[in-house]
Amino acid sequence: MLHLICSAQTDLQVRFGEWHSQKFATYKGDTTSYRLSMLSVPENRLASKTSIIQLKVVVFPSKTGSNLSPLVFLAGGPGQSGVNYLRQEFFQKPIFKLQENHDVILLDQRGQGQACLLWSTKFHLPI
């Protein structure tokens, strides 16, 4: 189970939704198991009253059951989904290698991938 530790200047709760077990078809043609959930977080961590948004979280559990620290992948550029990277062969290779001894956590950051999009009312575009 993934535990979340966060600190913010708010009383709003950060919560995971129900976890679902899924199978993923790899570039080699085999499958691997993962867990999927949505993480509910405050849109504005510092506001006492704010909307709740959802972030997609995918966990590939360690293949060896190791107690080593989990590894979290965060996409590096604007508009990139941390979860959607897994569709690409060049990304699968290092992720599945790391999965040998670590839980690997992928997530869609605020406004990216399958996370709730944030919209700019000024420009009518996703932020």
Q: Based on the structure, what is the number of domains in the chain?
A: 1
Give domain status of residue 5, yes or no. no
Give domain status of residue 52, yes or no. yes
Give pTM, 2 decimals. 0.71
Give domain status of residue 28, yes or no. yes
Q: Which of 39, 37, 96 is nearest to 71 (CA)?
A: 96
Residue range 72-100, pLDDT digits in tens: 887 766 666 777 777 788 888 888 899 99
Question: What range does the domain containing 115 cover?
Answer: 15-126
Give domain status of residue 9, yes or no. no
Give domain status of residue 2, yes or no. no
**25 vs 15, which has greater pLDDT?**
25
- At residue 20, φ and ψ (nearest 5 deg) are -120, 130
* Strand stretches in 19-126, DSSP E: 20-25, 31-42, 52-60, 71-73, 104-107, 119-120, 125-126
Give domain status of residue 82, yes or no. yes
Give domain status of residue 8, yes or no. no
Structure confidence at residue 101 as a pLDDT band (50, 70, 90):
very high
**16 vs 121, which has greater pLDDT?**
16
Give domain status of residue 74, yes or no. yes
Q: Is the backbone of residue 79 left (phi > 0), alpha (psi -120 to 50) or beta? A: left
